[in-house]
Amino acid sequence: MRLVILLMVGIIAMCPALGDAETRLVIAGTGDGQEVFEHLAREYQRLHPQVRVLVPPTIDSSGGIRATASGQCDIGRVARPLKEEEKRFGLEFKLLAYIPVVIATHPDVPLRSITPEQIVSVFSGATTDWKQLGAGTGKIYLVQREEGDAVRIVLCKAIKALRHRTLPGYIAYSAEDAVESILMNPGTIGYVSLNVAESVGLNVLSVGEVRPDAETIASGHYPLALPIGFVWRPDVDDRIRRYLDYAYGPEGHTTLRALGVLPAHP
């Protein structure tokens, strides 16, 4: 992880076109919700063309927290609150939004909906062929997330029968890895955030006939929702404060809702 953070810093340092420290913001961390964070940054740049906002590839929530604490980035993007041992860094944390976590397959899988019971059967390894789901024939290949990963926690919290199980299949250690593994391998199924899945054309399944979006999360009908937010140092300058005010304010909320994301604060 330290190597990844150092590489990120090196990339930033070699990009003078991104602006100097007075006109540049670096927001590093989780890859879950990457499209949401990138879209927020683009909209801010549209409103403030003198500022360049860099949203580098994932270094995970933990990496974003450490990079923020050490001053290697301005704001950390996270898919979970601070852990107890991370509170020693003295960072501020605020929830930004809830993103639907979706069950997604390779685009060629002819399946449109899956029940909670089928989710348990598939991801526990009991259901192994697509014909058992009425979706053609062929082996089901699983992409799981590591234990402790925010997306896996969301899945197991909503689908309680998956808790405390050893889940078979390929373990993806980042959102990018999970999405690429599903996209590049026919017959594959996994769980990722909605915006990332849609950005690459994965087949997003309804859960019990309920489509994942901001409205179904708000109503409680869609059970899988990933909290995302920012962390920052308490002594931020006006440049960082203005971005946070935008992201958590009316303009940011409008952008989030346009993406099908539920703002955490009205």
**What are the backbone dihedrals phi and psi of residue 35, each rounded to the nearest 5 degrees, phi first?**
-65, -35
Strands 92-105 and 262-263: antiparallel
Cβ atoms 242, 44 nearer than 8 A: no
Q: Is residue 145 predicted with pLDDT exceeding 80?
A: yes
Cβ atoms 217, 225 nearer than 8 A: yes
* Residue range(s) in the chain whose domain bears CATH number 3.40.190.10: 2-98+227-263, 99-219
Q: Of 9-13, 65-69, 86-90, which range is least confident? A: 9-13
Q: Is residue 16 predicted with pLDDT exceeding 50?
A: no
Strands 141-145 and 170-172: parallel
Between 244 and 33, where is the model more confident? 244
Q: Is residue 85 predicted with pLDDT exceeding 70?
A: yes
For 2-98+227-263, CATH number out of 3.90.1150.10, 2.60.120.10, 2.40.160.50, 3.40.190.10 equals 3.40.190.10
Cα torsion for 194, 198, 200, 203, to the nearest 10°?
Answer: 90
Q: Degrees (nearest 5) of the Cα angle 157, 226, 3?
A: 105
Q: Scanning the structure block, which residue is given the tokens 């909320």? A: 253
Q: Is residue 11 predicted with pLDDT exceeding 50?
A: no
Residue 14 — very low, low, confident or very high, per pLDDT cuts 50/70/90? Answer: very low
What letters, b where the CB count within 10 A reaches 16 and e where it falls short, cover 187-212?
Answer: bbbbbbbbbbbbeeebbbbbbeeebb
Query: Tokens representing 252?
Result: 């940011």
Cβ atoms 83, 24 nearer than 8 A: no
Q: Scanning the structure block, which residue is given the tokens 């019971």? A: 117
Q: What is the pLDDT of residue 20?
A: 57
From CA 195, how far away is CA 101, in angstroms rounded?
9
> What does the pLDDT average to over 110-134?
98
Q: What is the mean pLDDT of the chain?
A: 92
Q: Where are the beta strands (DSSP E) in 5-133?
A: 24-29, 52-54, 75-78, 92-105, 113-114
Q: Tell me: the pLDDT tens digits for 183-241?
A: 999 999 999 999 889 999 999 999 999 999 999 999 999 999 999 999 999 999 999 99
For 99-219, CATH number out of 1.10.3720.10, 3.40.190.10, 3.40.50.970, 3.30.70.141 equals 3.40.190.10
Q: CB neighbours of 28 closer than 8 A, spacing ≥ 6?
A: 5, 8, 55, 56, 59, 63, 64, 67, 68, 72, 73, 75, 76, 77
Count Cα atoms within 13 angstroms, Cβ side, for 209: 0
pTM for this structure?
0.85
Beta carbons within 10 angstroms of residue 244's beta carbon: 18
Q: What is the pLDDT of residue 22?
A: 66
Q: What is the pLDDT of residue 265?
A: 81
Which H helix or E strand runs over 206?
Answer: strand 206-207
Q: Is residue 2 predicted with pLDDT exceeding 70?
A: no
Q: Tell me: the pLDDT tens digits for 19-45?
A: 555 689 999 999 999 999 999 999 999
